[in-house]
Amino acid sequence: MLDLSEGCLQLAQKKAQEEGVSFTECLRGNATDLRRFKDSSFDVVLLVGPLYHLLEEDS
């Protein structure tokens, strides 16, 4: 799990624990900088939120 907000990560971990779900990792980070992850390292990606802020106007 990746999120900008430490508070959201803590809440997600709490809710997951209550439901008996575990995360391999919970990381604080930004969707615009995913260099820490190897290419093709995900089977599924769920993005919740707008994408307009990820694009640069010049592109």
Structure tokens at 44: 């599924």
Q: What is the pLDDT along the chain (59 residues), one digit of tens a residue?
A: 888 899 999 999 999 999 999 877 889 998 788 899 999 988 888 887 777 767 776 65
Model pTM above 0.75: no
> 3-state DSSP call for residue 46?
coil
CB 52 within 8 A of CB 30: no
Tell me how far apart the alpha carbons of residues 21 and 47 are, in angstroms, rounded to a whole number.
Answer: 19
Distance of CA 3 to the CA centre of its chain: 4
Phi/psi of residue 20, nearest 5 degrees: 80, 25
Q: Other CB atoms closer than 10 Å to residue 8's CB: what's the count? A: 13
